[in-house]
Amino acid sequence: MVASVVVEGGFIYEEEIHLTVFKTSVFFAGDGFTVHDCKGELLLRVDSYGTDKGEVVLMNASGRCLLTVRRKRPSLHHRWEGYLGERTEGQKPIFSVRRSSIIGRSDVTVEVFGDPPEEYQIEGSFAQRCCTIFNADKESVAEITRKVDASVHVVLGNDVFSLCLKPGFDGAFAMALVLVLDQIDGVDYVRDAVEEEPTTEDLNM
């Protein structure tokens, strides 16, 4: 498999690899992440989304910006765009992510602006930490799964999960997609909370 998006060559592996992702807050979307290899070494991090909730910066272990993901406004489909390094005014994105539908929970489409252009699909539930990234040939290139503590055979909470990379797929690009999924999940959480808020009629029943 040949990587179509190469954010950082050091995150492309010849064999399948399972990374561990830690979310720094289980209560709010976007507070931060750290990504570790099988030896526990820090590979990638997102300290915080800062004051601009529409922009996310993915860094390597030393804090160098690898990629910026920015929400495109206005956008009915929660469209996000990815830029190499720190985004600058007038810079063109290298990929775009959007929900396949604005009605209900749905799969996600990833468009890569390469030559030739490519498309990926993300299917499953990120909220449940169970989804797969497929290429145009419907081949799995990465998976997000629940993390299991093998020592006690216990499935860990949503703040710790696994990111499985197939050979040749860029881990930094995969993690950028995780950041978008986390933001979409946060939008769904807020929307559901509003929809479930009791009305005056409900309270009077």
Report the C-alpha gap between 117 and 35 in whole angstroms.
Answer: 28
Domain ranges of the chain: 10-191
Helix (H, G, I), strand (E, B) or coil at 173: helix
Contact (Cβ atoms closer than 8 angstroms) between residue 7 and residue 14: no
Structure tokens at 76: 């009915």
pLDDT tens-digit series, residues 31-87: 689 999 999 999 999 875 544 557 889 999 999 999 999 888 765 557 899 999 988
Report the C-alpha gap between 179 and 196 in whole angstroms.
Answer: 26
DSSP label at residue 57? E
Contact (Cβ atoms closer than 8 angstroms) between residue 22 and residue 160: yes
125 CA to centre of own chain: 12
Report the C-alpha gap between 195 and 191 in whole angstroms.
Answer: 6
How many other CB atoms sit within 10 Å of the CB of residue 117? 11
Please provide the CATH number assigned to the domain covering 10-191.
Answer: 2.40.160.200
pLDDT tens-digit series, residues 163-185: 999 999 999 999 999 999 988 87
Percent of the chain predicted with pLDDT > 90? 51
